Amino acid sequence: MHFGGLIAISDMNFHVNEGELVSLIGPNGAGKTTAFNIITGFQRPTKGRVSFRGTSLAGLKPHQVTSLGLVRTFQRTNLFDKISVFDNVLIGLHRKTSARLLGTLLSLPRERKAEAELRDQAWEILRLVGIEHQAKERASGLPYGDQRLLGVALALAAQPSALLLDEPVSGMNATETGRFIELIDKLRSRGTTILLVEHDMPMVMRISDRIVVLNYGRIIANGTPKEIQNDPEVIQAYLGQGVKHA
């Protein structure tokens, strides 16, 4: 991926197996978020290709990538701030429903049934992420960690088979991070494939099946947490930032 004379990504070739949790790590400016943007259709690569379950994502717009089951979160949580937590998730679910607005407004039987099913799904998602007790609260009034959980709930409303998490615990305290790790464990038990970008090395080492290390736009290591912890090039790239001892 080139931006004028700047090469953001020069050599990146990796895969994520179904049901696997792979973390993409690297120093600031290594190209991690650019990689996420390319995978999810927010940017088009200068050269190369991305495929998901055998389908090329070339030229697809973000909503088209999402419709295939590949869904991402963002570093900055985008919520519907002025409405309730529950209604946030309900809006996310409405994007997947075939119920028509006119039928809903007229309260036709089929639409009433579809709406009831969506409300049940919203409650299920809120229980999964652990914020069902805050369903009636305005999204903007949630503590920071719970806002991040609501962001994941919105992503789950799109019914992803693969979830891309962009620095999900950035800014969280230890308790909030622990709750998020519990959520990831639940998602994994449900078979969700996860690609994670994160700077919290203890978390990365604890939850990852594999870790891909990016530096200056190229992959310098790809292996298990133990292999990454002991890789000399990774340790040098992080300049003692805690990878080896995480």
What pLDDT tens digit does each residue of the chain (246 aa) get?
Answer: 998 888 899 989 999 999 999 999 998 888 898 999 999 999 999 999 999 999 999 889 999 999 999 999 887 667 888 899 999 999 888 766 555 554 555 566 677 777 888 999 999 999 999 999 999 999 999 999 999 999 999 999 999 999 999 999 988 999 999 999 999 999 999 999 999 999 899 999 999 999 999 998 999 999 999 999 999 988 887 745 555 544
Q: Are residues 123 and 233 in the same domain?
A: no
The strand pair at 21-25 and 210-215 is best described as parallel
The encoded tokens of residue 153 equal: 């709930």
Can you give the pLDDT at residue 13? 93
Q: Are residues 232 and 132 in the same domain?
A: no
Burial class (CB in 10 A: 0-12, 13-18, 19+), 116: exposed
For residues 159 and 89, the answer to whether their CB atoms sit within 8 Å is no
Give CA angle at 9 (40, 29), nearest 5°: 90
Q: Are residues 167 and 245 in the same domain?
A: yes
CA distance 145 to 129: 11
Give the pTM: 0.86
Q: Are residues 47 and 167 in the same domain?
A: yes
Domain that holds residue 91: 79-143
Do the domain assignments include residue 154?
Answer: no
CA distance 221 to 2: 22
Compute and round to an integer the Cα radius of gyration of the chain. Answer: 19
Tokens 């001892």 belong to residue: 245
The encoded tokens of residue 83 equal: 């409405």
For residues 70 and 147, the answer to whether their CB atoms sit within 8 Å is no
